[in-house]
Amino acid sequence: MKRFVVWGSIFLLVMVTSCQKARTPPEVIKSIPIENMDGVLTQSGVTFDKSTSSDGNGSLRIDTSQPVTVRLYEVRDVSVENARLTYRAHLRTQNVIGKVYLEMWCVFPGSGEAFSRALQNPLSGTINWTTMETPFFLQKGQKPELIKLNVVIDGKGTVWVDDITLTKGPLK
């Protein structure tokens, strides 16, 4: 009986480990730690806040009294297709009435634009630093020439943005 349990356990272990696929960690395409206003596209209502940060280097502070889409950065010269793009950022909110979420646009040569929004868990109210992300699934042959990274404030309040990354990984 002991041999049966031992061999059964070994068989089960071999089966479980052989069924697991090796996962490739996502590759960082662009990392923006936010240390100043360099490269920020929307300047109105956006300031650099040295005293509030998720990583100690400062953050972007957005103050708005109405709904706004803040164009943060654009990423060009990305050679990627047949992959999962992920736009990730740390966000903090204060007295937000409405919802806050990330938005990523991919511009494709000759075929227009498409977007992805992190609507599954929008932020509202007053929230300490939290990580938010939105994926974009690129099929074979879909090669964006430009990727736009935005924050949408569908309401009013104050939002801080820090530590932005754009990664690519396998579709599955």
CATH of domain 24-169: 2.60.120.260
pLDDT for the residue 13: 41
Helix (H) or strand (E) holding 13: helix 2-19
So what's the pLDDT on residue 77? 85
End-to-end CA distance of the chain: 41
Phi and psi at residue 5, to the nearest 5°: -65, -45
Tokens encoding 64: 């708005």
Q: CB within 8 A of 6, min separation 6: which ones?
A: none
Q: What is the pLDDT of residue 172?
A: 76
What is the three-state SS of 75-93? EECCCCCCEEEEEEEEEEE
Instruction: Give pLDDT, residue 24.
Output: 72
The list of the chain residues with pLDDT below 70 reads 1-23
Instruction: State pTM to two decimals.
Output: 0.85
CA–CA gap between residue 29 and residue 80 (Å, rounded): 10
Task: Tell me which amino acid residue 82 is.
Answer: N
The pLDDT of residue 5 is 39
Q: According to the model, what pLDDT value does residue 89 have?
A: 98
* H-state helical runs in 80-155: none
Element (H, E) at 158: strand 146-169
pLDDT for position 163: 97
Counting every residue written for the chain, the total comes to: 172
